[in-house]
Amino acid sequence: MISYKDSSILIVDDLQFSRAVVKSTLGKAGFTKLRMAESARQALDMLSEEEADIVIADWIMPEMDGLELTDHIRNQDEENNSYTGIILFTAQEGMQHMEEAFNRGVDDYLTKPPNPREMIARIISVARINQLQNMLLESSNELSQMVKHLEEVALTDPLTGVGNRRLLLKELEAHLITASSRKSGVCYAMLDIDHFKQINDTHGHDVGDEILIGFTRRLRRCVRPTDLVTRVGGEEFGVIMHYTQQDQFKLSSLERIVSSINSRPFKTNAGGIDVTVSVGACYYRGGGEKPSVKDIMKCADDKLYLAKDAGRNQLVY
């Protein structure tokens, strides 16, 4: 793990004086990999040429503000399979503004004018987040390579690269046996892309495939590297989450999936397309009578249909 002060930082502010003050403060603190941009557009061009570990940007800027810049960076992260730490400078007040910023993908914020010590502390904190997220992505990439290897035994969905129904059945049985014998837990979630037929009918199957690939990529980023993501068929996906302790499971892990999927449009050749997902999930607390694979899949499928009947873009557990 590299030193936090070796993190590459891009400072974005339309005011030259503000940029200079931040750069000077970081330089005195020992940060050396510093770049500056006078606009969000210039920042995106610079990030396209060379990624940054952390972007520090003003919230209020002409043409494109800090939140819009955050949206673009998160899209780039998704395409590059990487994670950029983002800090916004703001004069905004109130929890509503902060909640919006965090929901859009901002990691932290600083009020203007920043206190030098506070700024350094928050940058180190975000640098830690950046390193941990990229380590998780690296682990996920290693698991992806493992899944690709399973193509030899026909356990991989060729379009999305995740496991197929055959792998799901095999792994779900193994996890249920482990949970039963060790009194651990297994959550099985069924996910269905809402109104997917309408996407295919409107934009064509090539765009539909782009959605499926993007959906898979986003889904894998919001679950743990150890969770198994599979494509059951069509626009339906299955996720297996194993927990070593019976009480480790938290519903927020599924809520995060729903919010992440519809957080921003998916990029396609037909432009950005908004997508929502319906989720049905069941949790087996190990011990007692072990449910069959068929039983837990039916349970999750029944919950999924309840989520659809409730208006879609819903989670039923």
CA dihedral sign of residues 141, 145, 151, 153: negative
* C-alpha torsion 135→140→143→147, nearest 10: -160
Helices (H), the chain: 16-28, 40-49, 66-80, 95-103, 116-149, 165-182, 196-203, 205-221, 252-261, 293-309
Burial of 15 (0-12, 13-18, 19+ CB in 10 A): exposed
Of 100, 151, 235, 289, which one is the catalytic site residue? 235
Residue with tokens 């043409």: 63
CA dihedral sign of residues 23, 27, 29, 31: positive
Among 252, 314, 247, which Cα is nearest to 280's?
A: 314
Residue with tokens 């928050």: 122
- Quickly count: other Cβ atoms within 10 Å of residue 136's Cβ: 14
235 is catalytic: yes
Pairing between β-strand 236-243 and β-strand 108-111 as defined by DSSP bridges: unpaired
Helix (H) or strand (E) holding 273: strand 271-273
Among 114, 57, 116, which Cα is nearest to 84's?
A: 57
Q: Over 108-159, what HEC string results?
A: EEEECCCCHHHHHHHHHHHHHHHHHHHHHHHHHHHHHHHHHHHHHHCCECCC
Annotated catalytic residues are 235
